Amino acid sequence: MEVMTIFGTRPEAIKMAPIILKGRKDESLDIKVCITGQHNEMLHQTLDFFGIRPDYDVNAMKPNQSLFEMTANMLRGLENILVTEKPELVLVQGDATSAFVGALAAFYMKIPIAHIEAGLRSFNKYAPYPEEINRILVSHMADYHFAPTNRAKENLTKEGIREEHIFVVGNTVIDALYLTLDLIQDDENKFFDYFSYLDMTKPILLVTCHRRESFGEPFRNICLALKKIAGDNHVEIVYPVHLNPNVKKPVFEILEGQPNIHLIPPLDYPHLIWLMKKSYLILTDSGGIQEEAPSLGKPVLVVREVTERIEGVEAGTCRVIGTSRERIVNETRRLLTGGQEYTKMTKAINPYGDGKSSKRILYLIKNILCRK
């Protein structure tokens, strides 16, 4: 049975990796890997770490291209691959443009589609942009929906998706996290050397912000808040800065030269996980980190106006604080002081998975295909 995975960003690669690795051990499955190139360097770092070699690379990214160009380039590139391979099932993950275009290409070819991490909703089509609409459109093209939580399943049924096609399996990001922790556990000295510039006696505040919806004034507010936090608190701030010029420009203009703010290139996945383990607190707009950090006991402040991962908010693992400069400063200060509020967040139970999601998905795929 040939199953083709289509993805193009680092978060997709992380969440697809456990499925690909387990699936390739199953002789009844022929797992093909097709990448779009939506991310380039960060994507290949992740694939190299997990030992995954793509079968196809659409290589759709061009400098400074628009969403129009990126979508068209991906779709054209996928056409020839799907015509050649004719897989029995296409797997897409999440809400990136690669997932939307992968599903669209499979739909055009009348190939069944399975959507991993189905059913997340912010209920604001511009937050995140364009991801909210991407995942809604994928849901209405997909034949099978692997939802991470019961809430995600409810979102799908409310949109008219048939319940018998929805399977609650948890989130594969937890599978990837546990796999990574096992792979890096013997390399502590290597990681300490890599981050030797950090004063580990101070609390570490990890920052990851890159979403398109925050370009412009919101990013300036986030950066100005970080500058204030760095000046007023005994803390080390580490910010792996996304390569997008809309992120890099305000970050370096406002934060470069601050002695306890470390602006570094994007981290590969194992270094990011190690740094998350050592962090005291995380500020992020990343969906994956909202899901991973609770398994490491790390409180998360979400610098967005909304989140589609409301389960973490309800469980107490994270808090949505928006992009107001004053609120970012105040909420961060409150948690940096420790106390009962901080402790409660560190002990909250992760609602996103138990590390067995990829096993469930592969079992379902084999049974779905067997029923055809």
Task: Cite the active site residues.
Answer: 95, 117, 131, 210, 212, 242
Task: Supply 165's token pair.
Answer: 């096609």
Residue 11: cis peptide before it, omega within 30 degrees of 0: no
The torsion defined by the Cα of 214, 218, 221 and 222, in degrees rounded to 10, comes to: -20
Name the CA radius of gyration of the chain, rounded: 20
Q: What is the 3-state secondary structure (H, E, C) of 256-277?
A: CCCCCEEEECCCCHHHHHHHHH
Closest CA to 311 of 332, 294, 286: 294
DSSP state of 136: H
- The answer to whether the CB of 45 falls within 8 A of the CB of 128 is no
Task: Give the type of residue at 198.
Answer: L
Closest CA to 273 of 171, 162, 187: 187
How far apart are alpha carbons 289 and 300 in whole angstroms? Answer: 8
